[in-house]
Amino acid sequence: MMGLKFSAALVVVAVLAGCAGRGPMGFGNAARPEDPTRTCNHGNAGDARFAPLRARTGTGMGGPTLAMRASKDTPTEEERRALNIWTVAYQSCVDMGRSFRAAYLTPAQAAWIEAHHSRTVGLVAKLYAGDITWGAYLDQRDALERDTDMGLASANEAAAQAQAAQANAEAARGLAIMRAIQASSPPPVVYQPVPVPPMPRTINCTTMPMGAGWTNTQCR
């Protein structure tokens, strides 16, 4: 099936995964169901178990503050437990949407989304292990979002071009069929009126003697 157009990295509001995934646009998908991954993670965004993580990322609070971005802290034990629970929930949500993405996205679009999910989990693992700070995590998460956006933009353009080519091909096939039908049909019968010749005119002349050798002839 022809893929949908994504204007951003269709991910989740899932505390750690970055920007809110804005829905797909274009290609006439008004009746399209929402990606179950996105729905699932939206539902998890307010989970009380993730409150320590929201305090570090600014999710639901207008985004990370300058202090959050400058943080040199690594996760506390409480935050590490929340990270572990979040990762399990996140991967479960990702699995829920795979059949949707296979049905509604092009392979290139689906690959970018899957790569984004995988790289998000890898980044959280680095944070969990204490290899990066909370501030570094936020910076690297933003870079991941930008990279995914660029990849999806390219995949969206390719999907749009493929859809346009398909539409042109279908129009050309329709025109060819119409021309074939016209060529196989007998020529139309054109009726021409038969000209009617004019009636011959009869001229009658009468000659009358006038005397003195004169005559008067009248014709009609």
Nearest C-alpha neighbor of 9 from the set 154, 158, 164: 154
The reported pLDDT for the residue numbered 8 is 39
Total count of domains within the chain: 1
For residue 27, count other CB atoms closer than 10 A to its CB: 17
Expressed as residue numbers, the domain containing 9 is 1-220
- The two counts, helices (H) then strands (E), for the chain are 7, 2
Write down the pLDDT at residue 55.
95
Give the CA distances from residue 168 to residues 4, 29, 160, 171, in Å, rounded to whole numbers and listed in that order.
Answer: 19, 20, 12, 5
pLDDT by residue, tens only, the chain of 220 residues? 334 444 333 443 455 665 433 333 333 344 567 899 999 998 888 899 999 999 999 988 889 999 999 999 999 999 999 999 999 999 999 999 999 999 999 999 999 999 999 999 999 999 999 999 999 999 999 999 999 999 999 888 887 777 787 777 778 788 778 778 877 877 777 777 777 777 766 667 777 777 776 677 777 7
